[in-house]
Structure 1
């Protein structure tokens, strides 16, 4: 199974999110990005249900964090839903933004070389999850891959 990444971002960061999505695709990952999704005209609970459905289709969430992300309600909500679902989680921090304290637990990327490390670790961890499932770990396979992905990526990025 190819990892599928939900790229979470504030609308004003759509251009950067699209560049990140293109790099992920070039690296062999599948991507969901809402830039061309007409269903996002929904609002309130209907929109929340739709986003949850799209997150269900993804194995990962990559949040684009910029100085304007602080004004977003949706990006933190999407991160919370992804965490609840044990999706592999990382942030791409841009434009001099600081990593919010609640995101420092997970890896954060700062440039395209970091994004390439993310792609490599995504594939490795997804393969690990599939191996765990084949070995009969069932419901714990995702949790094991989740922890492995985060610790391995953080290590490769020099983060603790």
Structure 2
């Protein structure tokens, strides 16, 4: 099962919802989107613990970035948590926003076609993870599948 944690600033809720809908409709991929979550109005440690719990139910992270992301404390934090978990990670630049240099470490998407490439790479990496779990530790299998995700997605995006 693939489940994407959609990290985004509240100003980007509409585009994040469109991404979640496309992933589900076109690719059968579920997403976690915090706009429907009763915890969203909580602050500090309670919210951080809740986000970590929800991320634990996901298999990867897609960060929706825009000019509004600069004011977010949570999007960079969520990216950090996903990195610690060896999640396949990518960014989606909405509204023609430029991808900050530090986020170019990961594949970056700019269109629906790129989102479709993301879904294909996600499915391939998930298949690799399942296969590698048979003879590698969980962390080694996750690392290997995440590396495949990055290689496959970057290749299809020309990055």
Please classify the TM superposition score into its range, dividing by the shorter chain length: over 0.9
For residues 128 and 82 of structure 1, the distance between their equivalents in structure 2, rounded to whole angstroms, comes to: 19
- Residue 15 of structure 2 aligns with which residue? 16
TM-score normalised by L of structure 1:
0.96
What is the CA RMSD across the aligned residues, in angstroms? 0.8
Runs of 4+ in 1 over 6 A off after TM superposition: none
8 A Cα contact 1:67 1:96, kept in partner: no
* Matched pairs, number: 157
For residues 65 and 12 of structure 1, the distance between their equivalents in structure 2, rounded to whole angstroms, comes to: 10
- Residue 93 of structure 2 aligns with which residue? 93
- Residue 120 of structure 1 aligns with which residue? 120
- Residue 25 of structure 1 aligns with which residue? 24
Q: How does 1:55-134 map to 2 (within 5 A)?
A: 55-134=55-134
For residues 36 and 50 of structure 2, the distance between their equivalents in structure 1, rounded to whole angstroms, comes to: 15
Q: Answer yes or no: is 1:147 the counterpart of 2:147.
A: yes
8 A Cα contact 2:96 2:110, kept in partner: no
Per-residue deviation at 1:68? 1.0
Q: How does 1:21-60 map to 2 (within 5 A)?
A: 21-26=20-25, 27-60=27-60
Per-residue deviation at 1:138? 1.7
Higher helix proportion, which one?
A: 2
- Structure 1 portions without partners, runs of 5+: none
TM-score normalised by L of structure 2:
0.96
- Structure 2 portions without partners, runs of 5+: none
Q: Which deviates more, 96-105 or 119-128? A: 96-105
